[in-house]
Amino acid sequence: MSIKKLSKEDFKSFVSGLISSDDKVVGVKAKGNRFVFGDLESADELRLDYDVTLLPPKKYVLPQVETLMTYEVKGEYKTECNAEPTVLLGVHPYDMVAINQMDAIFSQDEYDSHYMARRENLTIVACDVVNASENVFAASMGSATVKDGFDVLLTDLGDSYLVDAATEKGEALVAKAAGAADATDEDIAKRKQVWQKNEEALAKHKLNCKTSDLPGLLDKSYNHPVWEEKAKVCYSCGSCTSTCPTCYCFDVQDDVAWNLETGKRYRAWDGCLLEKFANVAGDHNFRQRREDRFRHRIYRKGKYVPAKIGGQVACVGCGRCVGACTPGIANPVEIYNRLLEDTNL
């Protein structure tokens, strides 16, 4: 595939062209002094210099609420799937790694056709980080840069972008960019400098072991006092899971109309810190205690999910949970480092 260079002026015209095409175009824009992913109405709105978005882009593959099917109570059902072609602009490397992890999860075991239909309709334009956020620690988790999953990767070189088209979809998209020229070796070397700089800049919290040590560390930490200590001040608010790019749990519900003749089945984001998350039939809750729920989230990121996806830790170090947690207890690195102090690996 090809690597091009595009001036910032030409890039803006390229984005304007995309917005006036038939595809839905979403990207990062300012909301007050924060940033969000949302529909773009003009190229001027796009902010590739953002630090971090409030919510990750997972909502474009796994919406907060999604109707799965509609039905007649005594008759037929119809599968619903609203997956429209969408260009997603400005995904940071750590969020791209998170989407790659979800791709692996949702395409194995129970193949999730709703997730996969949305994913296949997405064209992802990732971008290297320009401004590191206050709490980002992607470098500690191996996701300060990303090598695959995207269709195009942009790197800001000052007055231009390096435009790396990695797939056929990416090539087709970049072909629409007037003014793109082949990148030189010097341009590609500048990208390497950006990657090296980001390995330093995106390490606001340092993990004191290798990520591959985490499953073994957690094996020895099930009864550690930290779970109870932290859980004492946890509100069970679920902010840490809803802002997390790698958390993908959902709850499935039926909504039957008042006439009891028709209904819809939908799914909505759920989170393992919420009190009712583990409630099952008979009102039995197998994770009633807050410390059990608190521990579960940390185990899930460092042990359970890695066992399903080839050892990759299910925390990409975006830092969103750190900022979202009012009592300041959600940072996985802080917990892992605390466990390390008391454990011989």
Establish if 325 lies at the interface with ligand SF4 (CB under 6 A): yes
| CA dist., res. 261 & res. 268, Å (int) | 23
Establish if 320 lies at the interface with ligand SF4 (CB under 6 A): yes
What are the structure tokens assigned to 310, written together? Answer: 């080839």
Query: Which amino acid is it at 91?
Result: V
Establish if 332 lies at the interface with ligand SF4 (CB under 6 A): yes
Establish if 321 lies at the interface with ligand SF4 (CB under 6 A): yes
10-21 burial: b if 16+ Cβ within 10 Å, else e = bbeebbbebbee
Binding ligand SF4 (rule: CB under 6 A), the pick from 126, 152, 162, 315 is 315
Binding mask 250-279 for ligand SF4 (x = CB under 6 A): -----------------------x------
Establish if 85 lies at the interface with ligand SF4 (CB under 6 A): no
Q: Minimum Å distance from CB 287 to ligand SF4?
A: 13
Alpha-carbon distances of 211 from 141, 206, 238, 306, rounded to whole Å? 7, 11, 25, 10
Establish if 238 lies at the interface with ligand SF4 (CB under 6 A): yes
Q: What is the DSSP letter of 49?
A: T
| Residue 25: its H or E element | strand 24-31
Q: 100 CB contacts (<8 Å, ≥6 apart)?
A: 146, 148, 149
Establish if 57 lies at the interface with ligand SF4 (CB under 6 A): no
The conformational region for residue 185 under phi > 0 = left, psi -120 to 50 = alpha, else beta, is alpha
Establish if 90 lies at the interface with ligand SF4 (CB under 6 A): no
The SS3 assignment for 249 reads coil
Establish if 329 lies at the interface with ligand SF4 (CB under 6 A): yes
From the CB of residue 258, how many other CB atoms can be counted at a distance below 10 Å?
6
Q: Minimum Å distance from CB 102 to ligand SF4?
A: 12
Binding ligand SF4 (rule: CB under 6 A), the pick from 243, 277, 300, 339 is 243
Radius of gyration, alpha carbons of the chain: 22
Establish if 170 lies at the interface with ligand SF4 (CB under 6 A): no
**Given the complex with ligand SF4, which of 196 and 326 has the nearer CB atom?**
326
The site for ligand SF4 (CB under 6 A) is made up of 234-240, 243-246, 273, 301, 315-321, 324-327, 329-330, 332
